[in-house]
């Protein structure tokens, strides 16, 4: 679900979408209808390594709202959010020493929780408040769903960590109409405010932060935290991902970079690499052309013969390289050399 993220371009796992699917399927709606308008396939929901873009995530939430017609879909989903739904990340939280340490993981590893919101922790006069803020704009219905889910899911997850419900002192919504207050008060069992000058927040006695978790286990925690770090590296922003693809292409000019060998070097399939590149607004062909153009400029400036440049960049013949270079730059390789020299 949209939450806990520093970059609106960040990818997420499908843990949350699987939770949405379980809810909508229970109401009789097919998985294909939920995923309509995205490239996510029903079988992808069973693959812990599959990733989703923010645009796809929001499309699925729109579908869920349309299919269910639920006024408080976020509350429904958040109440069903259990630690086990987050796989290895959930068990990493569970093995933390205390609640404070577990919550700190949400800052370090915004893993399967989505793409659109940031989490904060404030303490004042013995009260701790978990705050949720949006990283980018979205339509009102989705924004309300997201905030409802974030705060409700936090309440559910903390209850799982403590093995008991967290006594909530108060909840604040800063961009939701007050007429829905009765529904929120019934759910959270505490006073609910609608103060636009304050962040969306869930408040509780700060002493709970140092409450030892019943399943704390230092050795298991270190092992699972290391696995979280590995997963986190896969959820990097597309800008970093594209930089890695470009580097892989440049490193393989001598072996003619292809979609297949670049995907293999990044430990994914060709189909997965293509999907991530489309999500980032580009393609392998475009990146290969950019890398070839940059390398060609470097070699031409070093006065490397055009025949050798074509060979080094993997072109079948010099004429093919000349045509490509003119398409990239608007001039021939020889004209480029002449212009730079003068």
Q: Provide mean pLDDT across the span 328-340.
A: 83
Residue 292 structure tokens: 């070839």
Distance of CA 312 to CAs 261, 291, 318, 321, Å? 17, 12, 11, 10
Q: Provide mean pLDDT across the span 227-232.
A: 68
Q: What CATH fold (topology level) applies to the domain 237-341?
A: Arc Repressor Mutant, subunit A (1.10.10)
pLDDT, one tens digit per residue, over 11-57 is 677 888 999 999 999 999 999 999 998 888 899 888 766 777 777 88
Give residues with Cβ within 8 angstroms of 81, minimum separation 6. Answer: 19, 149, 152, 153, 156, 157
Distance CA 296, CA 321 (A): 9
The structure tokens 């097919």 sit at 30
Distance CA 83, CA 73 (A): 19
Q: Per-residue pLDDT for 230 more than 80?
A: no
- Compute the CA torsion angle 83, 84, 88, 93 (nearest 10 deg): 20
Strand partners, 293: none
pTM of the model: 0.65
Q: Per-residue pLDDT for 6 more than 50?
A: no
Contact 47, 17 (CB under 8 A): no
Contact 126, 206 (CB under 8 A): yes
The structure tokens 């967290």 sit at 166
Q: At 119, give phi and psi (nearest 5°).
A: -105, 140
Annotated domain spans of the chain: 12-231, 237-341
pLDDT band, residue 170 (cuts 50/70/90): very high
| 235 vs 232, higher pLDDT | 232
pLDDT band, residue 176 (cuts 50/70/90): low
Residue 132 structure tokens: 């949720």
Estimate to the nearest angstrom the gap between the alpha carbon of 253 and the chain centroid: 31
Give residues with Cβ within 8 angstroms of 221, minimum separation 6. Answer: 92, 95, 96, 97
Contact 307, 318 (CB under 8 A): yes
pLDDT, one tens digit per residue, over 264-322 is 777 667 887 887 788 777 889 888 988 888 888 888 888 889 999 988 888 888 999 99
């Amino acid at each position: 679900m949209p939450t806990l993220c520093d970059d609106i371009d960040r990818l997420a796992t499908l843990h949350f979408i699987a939770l949405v699917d379980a809810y909508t399927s229970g109401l009789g709606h097919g998985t294909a209808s939920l995923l309509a308008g995205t490239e996510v396939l029903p079988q992808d929901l069973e693959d812990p390594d599959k990733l989703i873009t923010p645009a796809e995530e929001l499309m699925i939430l729109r579908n869920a709202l349309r299919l269910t017609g639920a006024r408080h879909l976020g509350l429904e989903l958040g109440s069903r959010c259990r630690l086990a739904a987050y796989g290895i990340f959930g068990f990493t939280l569970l093995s933390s020493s205390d609640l404070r340490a577990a919550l700190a993981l949400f800052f370090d590893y915004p893993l399967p929780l989505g793409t659109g919101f940031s989490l904060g922790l404030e303490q004042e006069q013995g009260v701790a408040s978990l705050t949720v803020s949006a990283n980018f704009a979205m339509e009102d219905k989705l924004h309300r769903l997201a905030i409802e889910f974030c705060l409700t899911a936090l309440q559910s997850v903390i209850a799982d960590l403590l093995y008991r419900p967290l006594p909530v002192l108060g909840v604040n919504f800063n961009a939701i109409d007050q007429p829905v207050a009765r529904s929120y008060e019934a759910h959270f069992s505490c006073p609910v405010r609608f103060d636009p000058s304050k962040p969306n927040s869930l408040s509780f006695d700060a002493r709970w932060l140092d409450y030892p978790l019943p399943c704390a286990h230092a050795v298991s925690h270190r092992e699972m935290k290391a696995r979280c770090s590995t997963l986190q590296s896969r959820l990097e922003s597309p800008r970093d991902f594209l930089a890695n693809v470009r580097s892989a292409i440049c490193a393989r000019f001598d072996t003619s970079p292809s979609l297949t060998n670049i995907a293999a070097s990044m430990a994914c399939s060709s189909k997965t690499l293509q999907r991530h590149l489309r999500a980032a607004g580009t393609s392998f062909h475009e990146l290969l052309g950019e890398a070839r153009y940059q390398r060609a400029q470097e070699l031409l400036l070093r006065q490397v013969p055009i025949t050798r440049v074509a060979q080094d960049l993997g072109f079948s013949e010099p004429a093919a390289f000349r045509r490509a270079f003119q398409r990239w730059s608007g001039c021939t390789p020889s004209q480029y050399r002449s212009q730079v020299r003068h």
